[in-house]
Amino acid sequence: MFDAAALELINADQLDKTWLGEQARKRGIAPDRPATELELADVRRVQALLRTLTEIVSDGLPLSDLDVADVNAYLGRAPVTARLHRFPDSGYYVEMTPLAARWVEALVREVVGSWVALLRVDDPPRLRICANDGCRRAFYDETRNRSRRWCNSRTCGNLIRVRRHRDARRAA
């Protein structure tokens, strides 16, 4: 399974201070104060950047050097410390903790890091944009043959299939 932090940000309709605080707490980051308007605007820029980059990747295109530099700029704002831990039963995991002066920077680092993780898991990447023009939500295609077209087959997929069926019946 994967961390959906980036997809949650990309798909957030109501990106506000409350949403930011909830996402921070969900990721183990303790907000010590509400986000400022400047911080909220910065997170909205990150949201727009990740959406644009996801659309590029979803279309099967490579990211440009400038795109990679933009991602690296956000990653570099809050470097991380890595610690190896052992699971109680067996196995190991690495905990990556952002070193940030402000909690919003730590959250941005976590979100951008989760997007990068989704990008590097498979080649070509499985990041997609819903084929329903009325939706356009970002999702991760977990199908074996990378053929998923909709964020949800029961909602968007069914809607498109019904439209095609009706259009075909009208044309006949």
Output the CA angle 106-107-110, nearest 5 degrees.
90
Asked if residue 90 has pLDDT above 70, the reply is yes
What is the percentage of the chain residues whose pLDDT exceeds 90?
A: 64
Kindly write down the DSSP assignment for every residue of the chain, as one continuous string: ----HHHHHHT-SS-SHHHHHHHHHHTT---SSPPPHHHHHHHHHHHHHHHHHHHHHHTTPPPPHHHHHHHHHHHHHS-EEEEEEE-SSS-EEEEEEE--SSHHHHHHHHHHHHHHHHHHHSSS--EEE-S-TTT--EEE---TTS---SS-IIIIIHHHHHHHHHHHHHH-
In this predicted structure, the answer to whether residue 2 has a pLDDT above a threshold of 80 is no
Structure tokens at 96: 């990556």
For position 6, what pLDDT does the model report?
95
pTM of this prediction?
0.85
Mean pLDDT of 121-142: 89
- As a whole number, mean pLDDT of residues 91-114 equals 91
Tell me the mean pLDDT in the region 147-162. Answer: 83
Whether 1 has a pLDDT exceeding 70, the answer reads: no
Examine the pLDDT at 16 and tell me if it is beyond 70: yes
Arithmetic mean of pLDDT, 148-158: 84
Where does the pLDDT of residue 38 fall: very low under 50, low under 70, confident under 90, or very high at 90 and above? very high
Q: Which of 59, 25, 44, 49 is nearest to 116 (CA)?
A: 49
Q: Which residue has the higher pLDDT, 121 or 73?
A: 73
pLDDT tens, 40-88?
Answer: 999 999 999 999 999 999 999 999 999 999 999 999 998 889 999 999 9
Q: Are 100 and 77 in contact (CB under 8 A)?
A: yes
State both tokens at 23: 């996402």
Alpha-carbon distance 159 to 172, whole Å? Answer: 20
| CA neighbor of 112 nearest in space, from 1, 27, 22, 34 | 27
Average pLDDT score over residue span 12-20: 94
